[in-house]
Structure 1
């Protein structure tokens, strides 16, 4: 028996490393001599830096910055001095996980703190900046990042506006200060886990606004605001990237990185599989299964989440894929859209949510044991 493990974290329960350990225990309890290869994955959200550290030799750089509500925090990014590359995880500064449920305010949150990390990396000499932009608490189309780099935004009366979602429709003009940081010679890469456009029914606000604390009225306002801002950008700069696949990632941060920094979009799973040389591993070995997983499989999984990428990888190499999840929120017809995939829900439905969250590792072991004994 030979198995390749490529799981994401189970948010709120287990890191990707802990998921791998639980999967390995489950496999070895049935097949003690099984050969197990593992890749610690991330779709660009929480755990992105852990994935980088597992595959790239980097230094951790600690920085004073702010969270999405402007509160002082300390965090870090990674820097590879050999090629002047920086790796930044948006979730560590502008992330939803840094806020409790009562603090979520998608109208006021900003990516400014992430921008401060980018600025620090550029001043340290970074010429390639890789941003994992999943897990955001924001819907500011990256205005906060832009402000940290020297841009500012004025209303009809010439007043400067705070870089947040509430002000999107109020922006009348975009400016860059004379002492702004130079982006010349710096390449930006937005590590992206979704295919959503900036606005519309499948856009950032409508698909992700609710989980960031947005009410139905606020979500409509944000969607209109993003349309207004995109129209202004097109008028002022001739750039028209709002409907580009992935522009809606991280509350439109991907769009902001594209228009302000000329960022290239890279699929999170493709990026991780590239740096971990997974395709080389698959070419050199014949696996019985690829086992992946994440905390929840739902409609967002169809928009480019890690599991979708792993299934595509399994199809290319003709290896069946098994996906474990804490909660399955897709009906059977939607699951069947994924060829070559078996989905296993680990939760014990007779127990409360807290039990399942606290015992996720044990539940993963049991589900794998049951599957492999069939």
Structure 2
């Protein structure tokens, strides 16, 4: 039975990707299909979202167009890799996703190298974007394989990091323990003239018990001794950065994102950190899309209490509440309590699991399950 609605309903679909299963664009398509089963004439507005990590580049390309640029770069271990970034239609701005050249999945075949992995490949992408005329570069952090404070990235842009003997340090965060001086005389004028913004979804400082090494190092293969070594190296890095630039990023919220790359970018390039999901929402026009909406459907692979800390679901819910629009989240995994999300404006949340299923079954059937669940949400909320 088709549900009748007194007017053509407007439904905004603004999800993050379901990692390991569907990208945000694919999630939008599946949810839109389900909504139209209930309301064939529904106006479904797809606004793929991301939080500044993996998938953000595709989100921008889908929403804003532009040109996808391919480049031969290096991966976190210095091996050749084909990476990509986005250049706007007018060539004045670019979006660089750190994970494209410096992401953890790129070292899956060789295994992680916590002390030696670097971010030089991301710097190569930025250099290419600037060479093509971009003077506003958004660097999307997340999924990094390295804890080098962004030193490799900066090295690719012309910055030297040297030891007490004046020798260049090798790649990787471990080497920063021997950092004695920074020489940025090789930083090109066009790089200095570029506005840099960094999108991230964490508020961790550079060092300490909540710092880049302590919190994210184990995810990159670092054992306890390596975590301590990396934290000490980043402490040294922060001190020399402060001496050279006058900018103190040791305790800056968010400086620990992407193995401290955020801290290095802020100190050396004057980068402006921002909540990834909020920045993406503003850039792709989500606030305007929500005006006049009857319902917004968001979601991500896992929704839990931590989702309230700046993840896509929380940002979408807050924007929806400001406009009096009910917001429903769909998730592969749903873990209570969700009180903080409800306080932010989330009306309800539902899991895709329609019965006992393995993770493989859920990820393999995510599209049809999303469509079916979205249909039921639309019938209930818009009837």
Alignment TM-score, normalising by the size of structure 2: 0.88
1:373/1:207 CA distance change after superposition, 3 Å: farther
1:305-332 deviation line (CA, Å, top 9, x unaligned): 2222112212211222212222235545
Q: Which residue of 2 aligns with 1:136?
A: 144
Matches within 5 A, 1:296-315: 296-298=302-304, 300-315=306-321
Residues 196 and 269 in structure 2, CA contact (< 8 A), matched pair in contact too? yes
Of 171, 180, 192 in structure 1, the residue corresponding to residue 200 of structure 2 is 192
Separation of aligned partners in 2, 1:108 and 1:298: 34
SS at structure 1 position matched to 2:69: strand
Quote the residue 1:360 is aligned against: 366
- 1:103 is paired with a residue whose SS is coil
Cα 1:341–1:76 shift into 2, 3 Å: same
2:102 aligned to which of 88, 94, 98: 94
Alignment RMSD: 2.4
3-state SS of 2:219 partner: helix
User: Is the 1:195–1:304 Cα contact (8 Å) retained in structure 2?
Assistant: no
Which residues of structure 1 form unaligned runs of 5+? none
Residue 285 (structure 2) pairs with residue 265 (structure 1): no
- After superposition, the C-alpha distances for 1:47-68 in whole angstroms (9 at most, x for unaligned) are 2222222233422322111111
Instruction: Give ranges in structure 2 of 5+ residues lacking alignment.
Output: 1-8
Deviation of 1:240 after TM superposition, in Å, equals: 0.8
Asked if the contact 1:4–1:290 (Cα under 8 Å) also holds between the matched residues in 2, the reply is yes
**From 155, 179, 190, the counterpart of 2:163:** 155
Q: 1:42 to 1:162 in 2, by over 3 A?
A: same
- 1:171 counterpart = 2:179: yes
Shift in Å at residue 135 of structure 1? 2.2
CA drift of 1:45 comes to 1.9
| Equivalent position SS for 2:192 | coil
String of CA shifts for 1:219-271, please: whole Å, max 9, x gaps.
33323322232122223332112322221221111111111111112332233
Change (3 A) 1:108 1:172: same
What residue is the counterpart of 1:181 in the other structure? 188
Report what 2:5 is aligned to.
none
1:361, distance to aligned residue in structure 2 (A):
1.2
TM-score with structure 1 setting the length: 0.90
For residue 275 of structure 1, report the CA deviation from its aligned partner. 2.7
1:65 aligns with 2:80: no
User: Structure 1 residues 244, 208: CA separation in 2 closer, same or farther (over 3 Å shift)?
Assistant: same
